[in-house]
Amino acid sequence: MFLPDELISKKTALSLSQRIVLLYHELRTSASRYSYVTEADLFKQHADLFVRLRKDNCGFGPELTFDDGHISNYELAAPILQSHELPAQFFITAGWTGTKVGYMGWNELRALHEARFSIGAHGWTHRLLTHFTDEELKEELFKSRLTLEDRLGTSITTMSLPGGRYNRRVLAACAEAGYTQIYTSEPRIEAVPFGGMVGRLNILGNRQVDWMERLFEPKTRLLFSLRRKYWMKKSIRTLLGDSLYAKLWAQVNGQEPEAEDSAG
């Protein structure tokens, strides 16, 4: 069947306006058992792929985000992103900035901002937002936003949920605190421009380039499989509770003793 040029252009525009938003955490120069660590050389291969995907304009485009504010975001990720001319958004645990070993200080964070990378909030303490009282939640959300704005001299309107946890109370508190876009850990395809809730796919350290290529194929079923796995994990988490689930998650994912709970 032949399609009119106008319809073809509309179909093409639709495919180009879809994104898979990717979530990274920490980069290292060597491999690690901890699943939230991506080797820098592998990330460079990912970046090579992302450049090709953007150039080919086919399938789903990638969007890159980083959570927590690890120093490797500045030392390793940013140079690779800049050399590939790839944008990214960094969600910062504001209370760790300049205080926690292994995480960025304000000078590094300002340098990212001045390099035109986007900055968002990831809470003040990185505690799961669903565990806060109403007053604690208000302080956690306002303090992180206002501190980032004061230190960087820019407005902060995006929020990444620690551990991906939220409920209606958390979303209402985020809106009250001035966040207009909330980034979750639910893997899905997003239309551009993004809405108020943005789903993301957490990229683990064992994701080789051939796996990433399959993820971005137009007819892939890989993302569907990942979504199903996500909802199964969410059901298990609800059944076990956050504390027990976090302990099991740490064992399965090789979490290091000094790492904060990031169980997704």
- pLDDT band for 248, please (50, 70, 90 cuts): confident
Length of the chain, please?
Answer: 264
* 233 burial via Cβ count (<10 Å: 0-12, 13-18, 19+): middle
pLDDT score at 59: 63
Interval 30-70: pLDDT, tens: 989 999 999 999 999 999 999 999 888 766 789 999 999 99
| Residue 253 forms part of a structural domain | no
Other C-beta atoms within 10 Å of 179: how many? Answer: 22
The verdict on residue 112 lying in a domain is yes
pLDDT, tens digit, for every residue of 134-172? 999 999 999 999 999 999 999 999 999 999 999 999 999
Q: What is the pLDDT of residue 206?
A: 96
Instruction: Give the C-alpha distances (Å, rounded to integers) separating 57 from 6, 79, 216, 220.
Output: 18, 24, 11, 16
Residues contacting residue 103 through CB under 8 Å, at least 6 positions apart: 68, 69, 70, 71, 93, 96, 97
Task: Report the range of poorest mean pLDDT among 6-15, 35-44, 61-70, 123-132.
Answer: 6-15
Which pLDDT score, from 0 to 100, does residue 260 have?
A: 62
pLDDT at 2 over 60: no
* For the chain, percent of residues with pLDDT exceeding 70: 90
User: Does residue 248 lie in a domain region?
Assistant: no
Residue 67 lies in a domain: yes
* Section 119-146 average pLDDT: 97
Q: Tens digit of pLDDT for each residue in 226-243?
A: 999 999 988 998 888 888
Q: Say if 99 falls within a structural domain.
A: yes
> Which is it for the CA torsion 120, 70, 198, 84, positive or negative?
positive
At 213, which CATH number? 3.20.20.370
264: confidence class by pLDDT, cuts 50, 70, 90: low
Query: What one-letter code names the amino acid at 213?
Result: E
Average pLDDT over residues 211-224: 91
| Residue 250 is assigned to a structural domain of this protein | no
Domain of 48 in residue numbering reads as 5-219
Number of domains, the chain: 1
Mean pLDDT of 247-258: 76
| pTM tops 0.85 | yes
**Cα–Cα distance measured from residue 61 to residue 250, given in angstroms and rounded to the nearest whole number:** 31
133 occurs within a structural domain: yes
Q: Is residue 43 part of a domain?
A: yes
